[in-house]
Amino acid sequence: MTINQIEHRITSGDLIAALAARAPRVGGNDGGWPGLTIYRFTEPMDPQWEEIQSLSLGIVAQGRKAVTVEGKRYVYDPFNYLVLSSNLHFQAEILEASARLPFLSFVLQIDPALVRKVSTDMLERRAASFPPVRDAEPDKCVVSALDQDLMGTVVRFLQALSVGPDRRVLAPLYMQEMVYRVLKREQFSRMLHIAAQQAAGNPVAAALTYIRAHLGEPMTVTDMAEQVSLSPSAFSHLFREVTGRSPYQFVKEIRLDRARELLVDGRLAVTEVSRAVGYCSVSHFIKEFRGRFGTTPKAYADAQALGEEMRAIRSDAS
């Protein structure tokens, strides 16, 4: 037995222990992390129909499993992992399991946005685009050899779930590292393609979610386009086609609308509102606010406050 085989066996033992501790029941067990399911079976199981909604990573610690998709069979075990496409209906079969050596595995759903982020960090920005969705459709499942780097990351991720601070700080980092380890191998183009397909389903909706979540931060058309894996020109064209406005105009309007809400709320000064909605220059904010609403932010806030006072007086008088 080689040193690498010994190291793999030791690491596999760590993974078995981590999964066994989190899977007390036969069948699927909640893994304690969004999208994580841990499985335990004590005997082989006939094919069962299953369905997943998101890009997923499957790893077996003990036993052997087969997945059949569109007539094609994929077998994986402690030495091989599986990447499953999103929105997939398939048959799953437990091939090896016993009471003494139960089948132990997990399936982890992966946010396509995380795949895009890691891939962008790995590549230069100008090259970090996804393969066009119109390209030849790859297999909906792919089996690859499980190496020591990925195995170690998986074990550290599972161990981190048991401790509060580790779960909050380390688990997201290990999740990102798992994606990185997979992307480094031959799964790179496969995962990018899957993530691109999911983003392509509704890229404008994904961009709007991103805009609202980052309203107080600097934001360019390039930033928005990267979130949905499109070139800036293609993104701008699609965005205008769907919303009737350019990305820049839309961001400006939503920022000013949010500023108006904050001014009505009355808890922030004009300078603070300006920063909260992403303006570096207060004077620029005041100019654009006047252009949109016909008055300065302070005058608008004062008018709202006066209106509230008058309504309160009328309410008391009645």
Q: What is the dihedral of CA 176, 220, 287, 261, to 10 degrees?
A: -40
What is the pTM (predicted TM-score) of this model?
0.56
Per the model's pLDDT, the better-predicted residue between 120 and 184 turns out to be 184
Q: Could you read off the pLDDT of 201-249 as tens digits, one per residue?
A: 567 777 877 888 888 898 999 999 888 888 899 889 888 876 777 899 8
In terms of residues, how long is the chain?
A: 318
How far is residue 130's CA from residue 119's CA, in Å, rounded to a whole number? 9
* Whether the Cβ atoms of residue 136 and residue 193 lie closer than 8 Å to each other: no
Q: Could you read off the pLDDT of 264-312 as tens digits, one per residue?
A: 888 899 999 999 999 999 999 999 998 888 889 998 888 877 766 766 6
76-107 in b/e form (b: 16+ CB < 10 A) is bbbebbbbbbbebebebbbeebeeeebbbbbb
How far is residue 54's CA from residue 37's CA, in Å, rounded to a whole number? 13
How far is residue 58's CA from residue 71's CA, in Å, rounded to a whole number? 19
CB atoms within 10 A of CB 280: 9
Q: What is the dihedral of CA 53, 201, 122, 174, to 10 degrees?
A: -20
- Report DSSP state, residue 216: T
* Residue 55 pLDDT level (bands cut at 50, 70, 90): confident
**Position 79 pLDDT exceeds 80:** yes
* Whether the Cβ atoms of residue 36 and residue 108 lie closer than 8 Å to each other: yes
How many helices and strands in the chain, by DSSP H and E? 12, 10
Q: Could you read off the pLDDT of 137-157 as tens digits, one per residue?
A: 556 788 888 888 888 999 999
In 3D space, the residue among 23, 16, 32, 7 whose CA is nearest the CA of residue 166 turns out to be 32
Q: What is the dihedral of CA 156, 159, 160, 161, to 10 degrees?
A: 130
* Distance, first Cα to last Cα, the chain: 91
Calculate the alpha carbon distances from 303 to 156, 252, 259, 306 in Å: 57, 23, 15, 5
- Report DSSP state, residue 31: -
